[in-house]
Amino acid sequence: MTIPPEAVILLSSPPTAFVREEITSLQTQIINPWTSDNPETIIASAASRVRAIINCSSRVNIDTDYMNRFPNLSLISNHGVGYDNIDAVEAARRGIIVTNTPDVLTEDVADLAMALLLATVRLIPQADQFVRQERWLKAPFPLSGSLQGRTMGIVGLGRIGHAVAFRAKAFGLHITYHGRHRQAKVDYSYHPDLLTMAKDCDTLMVTAPATDATRHMINESILKALGPAGVIINVSRGSLIDQDALISALSSGTIFAAGLDVYEDEPNVPKALIDLDNTVLLPHIGSATLPTRKAMARLVVDNVEAWLSGHSPLTPVPECLGL
């Protein structure tokens, strides 16, 4: 594969500071329309010359219509492990390679998942406010739940799921998991049916990818099966949980609490979730640490550099490998 020297790379969204820094190493023209008052005009004027896109936003919907704008597109280098906003199947059909940034964010996301679980069960944000509001002067803080004796059901035992399980095991939690297939050389008990797993655990950790098949897989039935001591943590994508069903379950006491880093319509978080006192809500910060975001930016650019050199990109998504 030979890439012409006049190949143009487009930034489909405002780049992160680290991506902006890393792309200076690329030996080709880069178009950043987001420094202009009319970015769409700049994108349209360069569309026929664009050979690669660097995407830094999950809110850019790279579907068939989007790809049609760029007749010579060959690569989409995505900043993030999730790529549900990109139609990778359609891209593969067109011969467009899609890459993502796996592995480099696994440990930080797993750390945050456990921190979110602890914060949710032990009411840590509520306790912080209790002190700041000087309510401790008048009464002791209410007793919280505990991690002791809990069974964690992991929804999607991929890279992040494995890393979370490793940490949860150190906390003494019993681990079980649900996925499309039983995994070889995994000692955790496997549930081929999500509803059955929900009945057998009291903590759901959601780390599965967002696909058409996983949309709203956590629904009213799953939440009811989890039970009144149930806690759900989501560090994957908001679309995996039926948000209305979750609000209802939290409001009625069907489950105990929820810790969320992701939502169905980010950054819009329903007021009903915000108003509940049995939720811990984070602004999608699973990978938001300095070392991880630097590593993600470097991998985004490494994928582009490999492609520019005529080599295969380092981390193509499964659809582009025919999987």
Show which residues are catalytic. Answer: 237, 266, 284
Burial class for 167, CB neighbours closer than 10 Å (0-12, 13-18, 19+): middle
Q: What sign does the dihedral 8-12-18-21 (CA atoms) show?
A: positive
Q: Characterise 253 by phi-psi region: left (phi > 0), alpha (psi -120 to 50), beta (else).
A: left
Residue 257: half-sphere exposure toward Cβ, Cα within 13 Å:
21
Burial pattern 114-126, b for ≥16 Cβ within 10 A else e, equals bbbbbbbbebebb
From first CA to last CA, the distance across the chain in angstroms is: 22
- Which of 172, 247, 170, 236 shows the shortest CA–CA distance to 208? 236
Structure-block tokens of residue 77: 């280098």
